[in-house]
Structure 1
Amino acid sequence: MSSRTAQEREHAITAALEAGRWAPSVHNTQPWSFSVSGEVISVRADTDRKLRVEDSAGRELLIGCGAAVFNIRTALRSEGFEPVARVLPDPDRPSLVATVGVGAPMEADEHTWLLGGEIERRRTHRAGFTTLPIPERLIEALVGEARSEGARLTPVVSPEAIEVVAALTRAAQGVQSQDRRFSLEVIRWARPPGSGRGDGVPAGGYPREAARTDPRFAQRDYAWRHEWGSEADQSMSTATGVVALLTTSDDSREEWIAAGQALQRVLLRASAHGVSAAFHTQVLEMHHLREFLKDELCSGEYPQMIMRFGITFDDKDAVRRPLSEIVE
């Protein structure tokens, strides 16, 4: 191996670590840490950042870690190396989510460049969308992206089914808002104006008062008991956008990680075409409502994410912890 190749591989590892920290996670908890041994990156679940009330099983934690794994894979490909990924490689170390090695040199294709270019640009949206339509071809492409990672993305087409999903989000949010434990866990990750923290949801990243979509998809109340948050953007309509369900055939830890990789692949492809996503995970945090959704709308598959896709002109900043806090 020439010194130049060694330098290229070292640069690829640095780029992959940087990409990994830009993965999405519930409340932007960033529940991961990375380490490097030789040319292998280890992705570990940071259980200190697990949501004890909302995510007692760690499902959402592993979805976030799966998204980080996908970013690392994509960055290595963008740098010209085939990633060699192993998920849950050591049964004796359950917090070790995956290892990703720097494999053989390869030529990155346009699709890889397309996804890789969106890793730091992708943003989560927390309101209604404009009325601009999303092309049907793009929706079909997003379905294909999820399928390539072993998950299923199903657009919810029927107005009646959309209303059912919306009603479930309202029911779940209504119950959670009455539970002080849920509320305290949410506001723990809501950052005040001027906060220098590199995690959580910054005050400019959520509305002081959530705009209502039609039908209404309930939003997290990050502004609970304080007046932080941004003013509602009057240019935004109450358009719901395209509602979609991300599901897997099983509900194991492997499937949760696969769901995270599929989710991030979908989000990056959407972002490349100017499409953002809003998430509604409250339903999935309540066992009986999640079971109802699985049986009635997901054909028996396990729902891992509820989201709305749409076009917005938001250009909010995103916060992430520096690599010095993440890389062991």
Structure 2
Amino acid sequence: MKDKAIHAAIEAATWAPSVHNTQPWTFAVYGEEIRVRADVERKLRVSDPQARELFISCGAALFTLRTALRAEGYEPIVRVLPDPDRPALLATVRLGSPLTPDEITGILAGEIKRRRTHRAGFTDLPVPDRLVERLVGQAAAEKATLTPIRMPEAVDVVAALTQAAQRVQSGDRAFSLEVIRWARPPGSSRRDGVPADAYPRKSGQERFPQRDYAHGHDWGTTTDQRMSTATGIVAIMTTPGDGHHDWIATGQALQRVLLHASAYGVSAAFHTQALEMYQLREFLRHELCSDEYPQMIMRLGITFEDSRGVRRPLSEVLD
């Protein structure tokens, strides 16, 4: 029973979100202990030289693992960064006491494979304020701060910085080649990267531009975007510090927020371009984030579109 729970939890963890769907993690099992490790070969060396986004991605996988183990009936006992001599070992998770999963755990576990990253505009349907406040509380439970940007002027600033960063990165050959590496053409059999059907040919959301995964090709879906052009709620996730522990905490908070949002039919779009440029990130930190470190910029909204998720098989990520 325990072996089955461990393998089910690891398989669930592979469905966590990751930058460009790089899936930069591996898992190893030693008895009743699961080790979560960073796959540094999948690090974005141009846009993420410090591996901040890699750690956030792995933190999301860690929270997914925790949730799946609870759904399987075991309390996870987690140690983050347990060995300073092995920096790629991000966490260990041991099976604790048996438990009866509560209703919320069951709901979150059910959203793990259903959740999708959105890469276009949203409908005009509002996200209820009570739900937004609940999501703020979920982030706080993982020691991160989720701040909805309510002032239109502040939203304009975040949008302008995103546009500026996207233009600079699009004109930088090294940045562009890195995005191209993780863009999947139509019909590709790869199980990582961003599929061509995961974004529209025209996003309808030029205010918050997405990456140019099509890079000049006629890729993307032809879904009618006329009803999906709203920005949604812009929010920034921050932490007091900016080290490995903070990045892993961000990933856990992010996935906790995303699974709760998905349970209410709310999707998220991510915009990390400005956070990959030091000067722009520092501007955001001082001017909009009360000197906390911005770790993620996202939009939350409602969409009726669906996309196919792709993940590497367990055999590729499990030692």
Greater Cα offset, 126-135 or 224-233: 224-233
What is the match of residue 114 of structure 1?
107
What is the match of residue 255 of structure 1?
246
Letter in 2 for 1:269: H
Say whether 1:326 aligns with 2:296: no
- How far did 1:212 drift? 2.6
Q: Any idea what SS the aligned residue of 1:62 has?
A: helix
1:136-188 deviation per Cα after TM superposition (whole angstroms, max 9, x unaligned): 11001100100000000000000000000000000100110110111111111
1:67-107 deviation per Cα after TM superposition (whole angstroms, max 9, x unaligned): 00000000011111100000000001000010111111112
Q: Distance in 1 between matches of 2:16 and 2:46?
A: 22
Match for residue 88 of structure 2 among 92, 95, 104 = 95
What is the match of residue 260 of structure 2?
269
Letter in 1 for 2:216: R
Please say if residues 209 and 223 of structure 1, whose CA atoms lie closer than 8 Å, have aligned partners that are also in contact: no
Q: Any idea what SS the aligned residue of 1:278 has?
A: strand
What is the match of residue 218 of structure 1?
209
| Two-structure CA RMSD over aligned residues (Å) | 0.9
- How far did 1:284 drift? 0.5
What is the match of residue 70 of structure 2?
77
Q: Any idea what SS the aligned residue of 1:141 has?
A: helix
Letter in 2 for 1:122: R
Please say if residues 211 and 232 of structure 1, whose CA atoms lie closer than 8 Å, have aligned partners that are also in contact: no
Match for residue 22 of structure 1 among 6, 9, 15 = 15
Say whether 1:58 aligns with 2:51: yes
Unaligned 5+ runs, structure 2: none
What is the match of residue 4 of structure 1?
none
Please say if residues 236 and 312 of structure 1, whose CA atoms lie closer than 8 Å, have aligned partners that are also in contact: no
Letter in 2 for 1:176: Q
Match for residue 221 of structure 2 among 223, 230, 247 = 230
User: How many residues are paired up?
Assistant: 319
- How far did 1:235 drift? 4.4
Q: Distance in 2 between matches of 1:65 and 1:16?
A: 14
What is the match of residue 39 of structure 1?
32
1:188-247 deviation per Cα after TM superposition (whole angstroms, max 9, x unaligned): 11101111110000110122233235xx11211111132222225334332000100000
Q: Percent identity?
A: 68
Please say if residues 209 and 232 of structure 1, whose CA atoms lie closer than 8 Å, have aligned partners that are also in contact: no
1:3-32 deviation per Cα after TM superposition (whole angstroms, max 9, x unaligned): xxxx2x122101111111001001000000
Q: Distance in 1 between matches of 2:276 and 2:81?
A: 23
Q: Distance in 2 between matches of 1:212 and 1:119?
A: 26
Say whether 1:181 aligns with 2:177: no
Letter in 2 for 1:239: A
Q: Any idea what SS the aligned residue of 2:204 has?
A: coil
What is the match of residue 41 of structure 2?
48
Q: Distance in 1 between matches of 2:196 and 2:55?
A: 26
Letter in 1 for 2:113: E
Q: Distance in 1 between matches of 2:53 and 2:80?
A: 16
Q: TM-score, normalised by structure 2?
A: 0.98
Q: Distance in 2 between matches of 1:270 and 1:219?
A: 21
Q: Any idea what SS the aligned residue of 1:167 has?
A: helix
Match for residue 136 of structure 1 among 118, 125, 129 = 129
What is the match of residue 236 of structure 2?
245
